[in-house]
Amino acid sequence: MRIALLGPLRVTGADATPVAVGGSRLRMLLTRLALDAGRGVSTEALVDGLWGGDPPSDAANALQSLVSRLRKALGSDLVRSTGTGYLLAVEPGDVDVHRFEELAAHGARELAAGRAAEAAELLTSALDVFAGEPLADAAGAPFARAPAARLAELRLSTAEDLFDAKLRLGRHAQVLADLETAAAEHPLRERLAALHIRALAAAGRQSEALAAYERVRVTLADELGIDPSTELAEAHLAVLRGESPATPSPAPPAPPGLAGTELPGRLTSFIGRERELATLARLLSEARLVTLTGPGGAGKTRLAVETAARHPAHERGRVWFVPLAGVRDERDVPGAVLGTLEPRRLHTAPAPDASAEAIDLAVEALRGGEALLVLDNCEHVVDAAARLAHDLLSRLPALRILATSREALAIGGEQLVPVGPLELPPADAEPAEAAGSAAVRLFVDRAAAVRPGFTLDDDSTAAVVEICTRLDGMPLALELAAARLRSMPPAHVAKHLDDRFRLLTSGSRIALPRQRTLRAVVEWSWDLLDEPERMLARRLAVFTGGATTAAAEAVCADDGLPEADIVYLLGSLVEKSIVEQVGELADQPRYRMLETIRAYARERLAEAGETAAVTERFAAYFLRVAEEQEPALRGEGQVGALALLDTEHGNLITALRAALDANDADTAYRIAAALCWYWVLTRIIGQPVRLLNEVLSRADGDRCPARSAIEAFRTLLDFLGCAPGAPEVREVAENCRHTRAAERYPGLAVVLPMLALLSRNSELVREELDRALAHPDPWARTVARWAEALRLDDVGDLAGAQRIRDEVLRGFTAVGDRWGQAMTLAMKAQGHTLRGDHAAALDALERGRAVAMELGTGDDAVQLSLRAVEEHLRHDDIESARRGLDEARRIAAGVGQRQVQVYVELTAVELARRTGDFAHAHRLLDDIGRAMTTLDFGSGVGREWLATAETALLLSEGRTAEARQALAETVQAAAGRGDMPDTARAAELLAGLRHQEGSPEEAAAALGLSHAIRGVFDHGSPELRELTERLVTDLGLRRYRAAYDEAARLPREDAVRVLREQADQASRLR
């Protein structure tokens, strides 16, 4: 496929057939992706580029819609998702912009090398590609302005190069008319004027050449107040002397050092940083001083070299690279620059006032037009580098400086470009997704260099992703880690990263000493700090998840480090790239350390003997945070509390473990108990169960409200996520009552009744509900009524449950609990669904989803969206189901949890089944099965869902023998977990199986089992309604009712037992 952006947007297929791309916004999207052909463009960059400062309210969804349309136009294989954005899967050479740029650059190089004929051919080809106004169909898009202006400028400079090449070949007659037109259109463009003068002189029209020069000189003086450039003045002098500037004699050799220096050799490929390169190109066209800042090992020097190599001044030999790492005295900085510019003159510079003399000589050497000076590694001589940059920029209007430093030069006009980690993959990324990450690509590239044949595959991906993540995506650290693959596999490298400073010591022998080992990289930065900065930096190492200003003040301040100094020291550490600011939390700036710097700082903390005292203050601070936020989770402050606890979760877990390590049982109990309701709200199950078990086993403290609450929540999480086993629910409830735990932790008002309900202890259910309904907290009473509605569902009283939920919804609304509102609406929707009230179900689900989105609980929003998809399928509204599934995918992508994405794909299986696309459904099931092997769904949950979907699909295909095996697994998993809705669904699948096998009476009985287990028949299912009609036709209404009612009257426990027996028997049939 070919794409033309120079002129009106044109797309042609492989057979040159035009491809229609309709809609202005869609054409803008294609243009933006084509500018980065073959490279990923982030969602953020696309939204910003298409809509700028006025994006739609749901920008991500709007972008997804555009991408879907573009895939339809071009083909889904050409517009690919990268995990963080999208890429257009075409080669750069398939886009005219990139062909033009490559031809123009090649032609300019040939011209600079004196090969005018070759240059003329290439430059003509380049201009032939340029068919019209650049990016014409994206003219209104925010992203298009800068590249369109750059391309227009490049077209003009390419035309100048072509005029120059033809004049050197003696073809002045061919170009004179075009030169006259171009010079008239651009009267301030001095190179164009000089070429025009040369052409006139070569044609023997000296008087016109002199007149042309005079016109330009006057225009420059009147409009800009400047004299003609050196090139223009030399063309004028050549005419006065009667020389023929169109065929110049070879120029004398340039004085030593005046030609631009070679940039440092690039022995390895450059990977990633596309956005930074684009930003630097733009800034260097607008600003005169640009500084790359960031921690050691971030790749600032390499990025500067790549940027300089692509700068227009490089083609003209007007780029100089000055390495300052070896300069030890600030007074030597001007000399280092002069040593790069004119090494011979430096040695003859007079000793008195050498710095001033060196600056004067540097200014003279840099005169002569546009130039780029790269000052590399300024941080240890930053004051001198700043003074020098100011002096040079003040005296040389055509000079631009690109600096690299771990802190800014801090002079007027400086533009900063932070250089941080490379893009990281998701923690659970599969090989294809991981390969889209720049950090992983860099590691794999360097690893293949020392271990030929190394690739990213199913065996290596997890370890490579862990290495990249734990090394913060920092290029130097990744290169050092990759070098270790000479002697050990990736999994061993990952395993030994706790001792990273011993592990990562195999740097390049030609690198600077401070870049050969990971420790040396960090020490270089550390040694530039003063003592108060070092003191704060080492104490910040206890924070695993970053720190707000308030947290840093509470944990790091003491008599030796006043609290009032913390905010200023944090600013200084940011400026010196020891910490980075990463947004705000509760109106306070938040700071974090890269993991490698934190590991080094932890060593210094231990060395200073401060670990115990600082860790104790850390645990005390986060105990206060947890206990202050716990009540807010149940009311108006819920949104803010969730956001804060989401952000601080890593620190809270670290504080909990620190309390355990210090044998501080009280702090450990209280932090864990304060987090329990947060874990319920966020559906985080696996890690909390392990943590709570660890707290209960390690903390040696007296029974107290916190410990009793932990036992109750741990038991509930066991039920929700794992096989329940035989928890002593009665004992758990008694312990909570004796310690009066519910008074301190009102969440127990729903946890204890639910435990009783899940353990099938009806007497305990009533006791705990009565106790909770008498709680003084209105939220506790409301959530107890919520649990009571569950009890009514359990016994099949749907009408009673719905009436209570109306009251519960009002109660949660009154106290401001959005989570409670969303969950209540979800349950109301389920009641409507079972009754077959499609409109009411969708209304409740949409209201619940909106509340969940407002709350920020993406997991709940996804679940509610998927429930709506299922409701649309029940109503045979396939298009609405497809749209809803796309929306759920979008929300799930923002949640960033693979488990949530699995929920989405399971619903996609059901959509494919219902539309008859069985092959696609099986492919999805295979993908889900592979994903589940690496995910923690709790004991049997994931496999049960997969088996349920597989059973339904096999039955739809009429593959009864295989369906029997899948059904047995479904029944045993669902019944084993005590999940009654899922078990009832399994009974309905058994009914479908029996009907296909020609046993209508057994099918009717299976439907009765479903009723007994769930408490009600699912009137909203079109498949069950259809099955019922067929069974009534086969059996007659009386025989159908007899079989159905006999099973439906069974006690639930007996119904589950019968179901298990029948499923087991079915699986043995062949």
Q: What is the CATH number of the domain that holds 122?
A: 1.10.10.10
Task: Indicate whether 999 belongs to any domain.
Answer: yes
CA distances from 128 to 121, 255, 312, 481, 1052 (A): 11, 38, 21, 48, 80
As given in the structure block, the two tokens for residue 54 are 């006025």
397 in a structural domain: yes
Q: Which residues constitute the domain of residue 995? A: 939-1068
Is there a single domain that holds both residue 290 and residue 384? yes
Does residue 988 lie within any of the structural domains? yes
Q: Domain check: are 160 and 222 in the same one?
A: no
Q: Give the residue from 609, 635, 651 where a domain finishes.
A: 609
Instruction: Let me know whether 86 and 156 are in one domain.
Output: yes
Q: 965 and 1023: one domain?
A: yes
Q: pLDDT at position 348, please? A: 41
113 and 10 in a common domain: yes
Which pLDDT belongs to residue 606? 94
Q: How far is CA 248 from the centre of its chain?
A: 56
- The answer as to whether 643 is a domain residue is yes
Structural domain total, the chain: 7
Is 856 domain-assigned? no
Name the 3-class secondary structure at 50.
helix
230 located within any domain: yes
Look at residue 346 in the predicted model and tell me its pLDDT: 44
**In 3D, which of 862, 868, 875, 784 has the Cα closest to residue 836?**
875
Cα 1048 to Cα 1041: distance, rounded to the nearest angstrom? 10
- Residue 599's contacts (CB-CB under 8 Å, 6 or more residues apart) are 500, 501, 541
Q: How far apart are CA 893 and CA 433, in angstroms?
A: 13
What are the angstrom distances between the C-alpha of 273 and each of 8, 288, 306, 475?
30, 21, 10, 11
402: three-class secondary structure by DSSP? strand
- Identify the CATH number of the domain in which residue 312 sits: 3.40.50.300
Q: Are 12 and 161 part of one and the same domain? A: yes
As a dihedral over the C-alpha atoms of residue 254, residue 256, residue 257, residue 262, rounded to 10 degrees, the angle is: 80
Task: Give me the sheet containing 319-323, strands edge to edge.
Answer: 319-323, 371-376, 399-405, 289-293, 414-418
85-88 sheet: strands from edge to edge: 41-42, 85-88, 79-81
Q: Coil, strand, or helix at residue 63?
A: helix
Residues 43 and 162 in one domain: yes
Residue after which a domain boundary falls, among 458, 490, 520: 520
Dihedral in degrees, nearest 10, Cα atoms 171, 175, 177, 182: -150
Q: What is the CATH number of the domain that holds 199?
A: 1.25.40.10
Choosing from 609, 642, 671, the residue where a domain stops is: 609
Q: How far apart are CA 321 and CA 373, in angstroms?
A: 6
Instruction: Read off the pTM.
Output: 0.68
Q: Is residue 381 in a domain?
A: yes
For residues 403 and 482, state if they share a domain.
no
pLDDT of residue 937: 58
979 contact partners, CB below 8 Å, separation of at least 6: 944
Regarding whether 23 and 162 lie in a shared domain, the answer is yes
Do the domain assignments include residue 465?
yes
> Do residues 686 and 936 make contact, with C-beta atoms less than 8 angstroms apart?
yes
Residues 99 and 245 in one domain: no
**How many angstroms separate the Cα of 48 from the Cα of each of 31, 134, 893?**
14, 20, 19
Q: Are 988 and 1026 in contact (CB under 8 A)?
A: no
Report the C-alpha gap between 861 and 853 in whole angstroms.
Answer: 6
Residues 6+ apart with CB under 8 A from 877: none
The secondary structure element, H or E, covering residue 289 is strand 289-293
Q: Does one domain contain both 5 and 127?
A: yes
What are the angstrom distances between the C-alpha of 408 and each of 279, 289, 378, 499? 17, 11, 9, 32
Buried b (16+ CB within 10 A) or exposed e, 440-465: bbbbbbbbebebeebebeeebbbbbb
Give the chain's residues under pLDDT 70: 83, 243-262, 265, 267, 343-354, 506-516, 586, 720-727, 896, 934-940, 1070
Q: Which of 446, 447, 425, 422 is nearest to 434 (CA)?
A: 425
- 513 and 535 inside one domain: no
The tokens 């997969």 sit on which residue?
A: 946
